[in-house]
């Protein structure tokens, strides 16, 4: 038996086994060539998304395999919709998603920064520096940048009696979105929604209590905040009242129907009397269920399951309004908002398990007279719903993503009140700090420090380029001014307001978001620099 060297080994009994299948036929890159290939893939992704950065960033139009069209400016959404096969490109997509899950903002910036770091790493590899030394240098430079962020940060006191600073911060996030024309309205809604559910003492925000609903029809300006719950349902019978006040709500997960045996069964109806007896049994059961609900004091029934026309007619006759087919998450939100209990059996229903709401009304809108239910003035008013309107589904989906980013920014400020001023100002300040620190290092890591410093400038460069300015001239001018004046608030004047001081323009970003961007981008670059080969699992066959 012949074997290619290195492809077959022998165990202690002399039996051959394959380590790497068809190794002699494999043609692959290894070492620095593989790393350079990975860098090329990541740079292609970063270059694609770079033009979406900033308030003047361009949108991307994506067409799915089914022909569905989506227009978005949100980095995480664009990355998620990309159909990528390359493994490194998939890591870039996950990078953007991690930033979105953790912070909710800065999803484009983190990809641009990672691409710039890899571009710098490519140049360092050409100089003959080992990938591990580059990765270690980037790690040290990132720590230096994070420390400098703390020194240039400001405190941002959250005052429920003065919402203007929070609103302006949310508007910074919305400035690059499709809803920027009504950014003020969306920012006010986001701030009021977060403060409604926030625990300012514990500095915690429960996003589960904020529901974002969208409905096609009307203008995007018709978007509103409901201090309660909006459900995409209507009353089960058209003759039921459209508005109820001082409502006691029975929240049921049991259906209005006669009980069924749990085992297989057969029912023979042999005569008219048998059929009448069956009908009477069903009617009695329906009547018993409605009586149990009425006796508990309920004036509205919200049921997770459906019920037939007979039960519906009986509910109308007994003057008990009902809503059917309400989903599980909505049921839970209604229970939280109204302070009620979810009841699985009619027998367990009691007055103390009922939810309470001041007003339940049916909204009707659009030429098709679409209907939705609004539950307001709830016992636990902390649950809120943001009801977004728009001319088509694409606009609504993008407005939802924009609102999510604004909500996340306000949440981050409540959890951590440290801020920096945007427009690329913190990146330029950190770039100056890391370049200054590089002069103190005697080892090879000084090259990585300077490269990290250059990579940080990619954010303000992209902002200037997307704003129609001369990128190099603008960033060089701002950098020189920051060094001369010692003012770390100077950034790119994207909106053409005549001043580079981002504090005057009130362009605010959270320190938490900036730190997360730098940490995630550095960690991904370190990981890519350490991958010198790619193999699929079936190529490692024992």
Nearest-10 Cα torsion for 402, 404, 408, 414: 100
Q: How far apart are CA 482 and CA 94, in angstroms?
A: 34
- DSSP labels, 414-436: HH--EEEE-TTHHHHHHHHHHHH
User: Strand order in 210-216's β-sheet?
Assistant: 210-216, 384-390, 224-226
- The 8-class DSSP code of residue 227 comes to S
- Rounded CA gap, 499 and 497, in Å? 6
532 belongs to the catalytic site: no
* Per-residue three-class SS string for 165-214: HHHHHHHHHHCCCCCHHHHHHHHHHHHHHHHHHEECCCCEECHHHEEEEE
Would you call 83 a catalytic residue per the annotation?
no
Write the CB contacts of 45 (distance below 8 Å, at least 6 apart in sequence): 79, 82, 84, 89, 92, 93, 111, 115
What is the chain's Cα-based Rg?
Answer: 30
Of these residues, 77, 100, 105, 108, which one is catalytic? 108
User: Rounded to whole angstroms, what are the CA distances from 133 to 56, 120, 128?
Assistant: 37, 13, 11
253 is catalytic: no
CB 122 within 8 A of CB 39: yes
Cα 425 to Cα 420, 458, 494, 500: the distances in Å are 8, 12, 12, 9
204 classed as catalytic = no
Catalytic-labelled residue, pool 74, 100, 105, 501? 74
Per residue in 224-234, is it b (16+ CB within 10 Å) or e — as a string?
ebbbbbbbebb
Say which of 405, 454, 493, 501 is annotated catalytic. Answer: 405
d(CA 369, CA 361): 15
> Among the residues of 251-365, which ranges form H helices?
272-295, 309-317, 328-338
Task: Give the active site residue among 77, 107, 169, 385.
Answer: 107
Nearest of 147, 42, 37, 110 to residue 456 by alpha carbon = 110
Residue 234 corresponds to which tokens in the numbers above? Answer: 């209507």
Q: Which residues are catalytic?
A: 74, 107-108, 405
């Amino acid at each position: 038996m012949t074997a290619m060297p290195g492809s077959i080994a022998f165990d202690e009994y002399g039996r051959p086994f394959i380590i790497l299948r068809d190794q002699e036929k494999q043609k692959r890159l290894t070492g620095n060539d593989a790393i350079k290939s990975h860098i090329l893939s990541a740079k292609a992704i970063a270059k694609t998304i770079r033009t979406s950065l900033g308030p003047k960033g361009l949108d991307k139009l994506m067409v799915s395999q089914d022909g569905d069209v989506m227009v978005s400016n949100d980095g995480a959404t664009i990355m998620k919709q990309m159909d990528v096969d390359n493994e490194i490109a998939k890591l870039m997509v996950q990078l953007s998603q991690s930033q979105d899950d953790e912070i909710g903002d800065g999803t484009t910036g983190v990809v641009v920064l990672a691409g710039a770091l890899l571009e710098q790493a490519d140049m360092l590899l050409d100089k003959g520096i080992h990938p591990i030394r580059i990765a270690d240098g980037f790690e040290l430079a990132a720590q230096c940048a994070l420390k400098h962020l703390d020194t240039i940060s400001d405190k941002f006191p959250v005052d429920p009696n003065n919402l203007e600073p929070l609103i302006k911060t949310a508007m910074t996030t919305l400035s690059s979105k499709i809803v920027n024309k009504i950014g003020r309205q969306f920012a006010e809604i986001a701030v009021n929604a977060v403060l409604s559910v926030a625990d300012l003492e514990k500095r915690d925000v429960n996003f589960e209590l904020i529901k974002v609903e969208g409905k096609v029809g009307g203008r995007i300006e018709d978007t509103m905040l409901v201090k309660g719950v909006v459900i995409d349902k209507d009353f089960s019978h058209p003759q039921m009242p459209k508005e109820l006040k001082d409502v006691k709500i029975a929240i049921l997960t049991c259906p209005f129907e006669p009980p069924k045996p749990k085992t297989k069964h057969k029912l023979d109806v042999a005569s008219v009397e048998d059929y009448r007896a069956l009908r009477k049994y069903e009617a009695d059961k329906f009547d018993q269920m409605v009586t149990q609900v009425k006796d508990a004091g309920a004036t509205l029934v919200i049921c997770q399951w459906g019920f037939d026309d007979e039960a519906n007619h009986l509910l109308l006759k007994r003057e008990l309004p009902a809503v059917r087919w309400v989903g599980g998450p909505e049921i839970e939100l209604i229970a939280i908002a109204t302070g009620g209990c979810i009841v699985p059996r009619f027998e367990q229903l009691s007055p103390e398990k009922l939810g309470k709401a001041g007003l339940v009304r049916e909204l009707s809108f659009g030429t098709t007279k679409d209907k939705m239910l609004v539950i307001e003035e709830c016992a636990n008013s902390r649950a809120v719903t943001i009801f977004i309107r728009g001319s088509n589904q694409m606009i609504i989906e993008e407005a939802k993503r924009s609102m999510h980013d604004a909500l996340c920014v306000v949440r981050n400020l409540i959890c951590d009140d440290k801020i920096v001023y945007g427009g690329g100002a913190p990146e330029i300040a950190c770039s100056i700090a890391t370049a200054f620190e590089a002069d103190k290092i005697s080892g090879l890591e000084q090259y990585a420090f300077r490269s990290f410093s250059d990579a940080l400038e990619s954010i303000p460069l992209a902002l200037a380029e997307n704003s129609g300015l001369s990128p190099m001239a603008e960033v060089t001018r701002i950098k020189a001014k920051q060094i001369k004046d010692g003012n770390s608030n100077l950034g790119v004047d994207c909106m053409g307001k005549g001043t580079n001081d981002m504090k005057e323009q009130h362009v605010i970003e959270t320190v938490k978001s900036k730190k997360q961007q730098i940490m995630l981008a550095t960690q991904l670059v370190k990981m890519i620099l350490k991958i010198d080969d790619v193999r699929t699992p079936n190529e490692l066959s024992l």
